[in-house]
Amino acid sequence: MLKKITIIAFLFLFVNNIYSQIVKGYCIYNNGDTADIFLNNSKGLFKTGISIESLQYRVKFYDSNNLKKILKPYMAKEISFILNGERIRMLSRQMPSGRILFIQLISDGKLKLFKVYKTRQTVSGGGMYGAPMVSGSYTVEKYYLQKNDEELFKPLGISFRKEMMLFLSDCPNLAKKIEQKVFSIENLEHIVYEYNETCR
């Protein structure tokens, strides 16, 4: 019996170590100081790796002395790391709700494009006595724009043209392309690129 328990424990540690991975990154504190951070990207029986959505609210990391720490968005300007070959930059920003989050920077420049992740639950009526029951979940991606240090602006599909023309009033040629439906809400990255290239 003891032999079986030892084998199971060994296999558990072996499997856990196979999928264990530390990702090195850095953070920039509010005072401008920079520090290395080490994120746990382990995948195994009870670990799912780095979640960008979770990092929006707080960052659990190890410092250069291997001490476990927690970084909250109000404590730093930015965190950055490479995940699956892609550089991820998350900047601390105050959302329209007033809450401060680390949000993923998609395009940088005078006009910035950010992506925010939110998990939604799917609810069905299949519970006991017809009560609602959570049957699954899915992730929603929301996009925000920011000019310089102004407040975040969230483009909406329903009023996209009207609001974007007003938002881009300092760049008449680009605003005209929005009016003429050359660009839609599906072309946010291209809109940001063109703004930063032509509307200096």
At 99-141, the pLDDT tens digits run 999 999 999 999 999 999 988 777 666 555 556 665 677 888 9
Tell me if 193 is assigned to some domain: yes
Tell me if 64 is assigned to some domain: no
Q: Where are the beta strands (DSSP E) in 125-200?
A: 133-147
Name the one residue in this structure whose structure tokens are 């328990």: 5
**Domains identified in the chain, total number:** 1
Tell me if 194 is assigned to some domain: yes
Tell me if 89 is assigned to some domain: no
Tell me if 188 is assigned to some domain: yes
- Domain residues for 194? 155-200
Tell me if 9 is assigned to some domain: no
* pLDDT for the residue 42: 80
Higher pLDDT, 44 or 81: 81
Residues 6+ positions from 45 with CB-CB distance below 8 Å = 12, 15, 16
Tell me if 197 is assigned to some domain: yes
pTM for this structure?
Answer: 0.81
- By the 8 A CB rule, do 164 and 171 touch? no
Tell me if 178 is assigned to some domain: yes
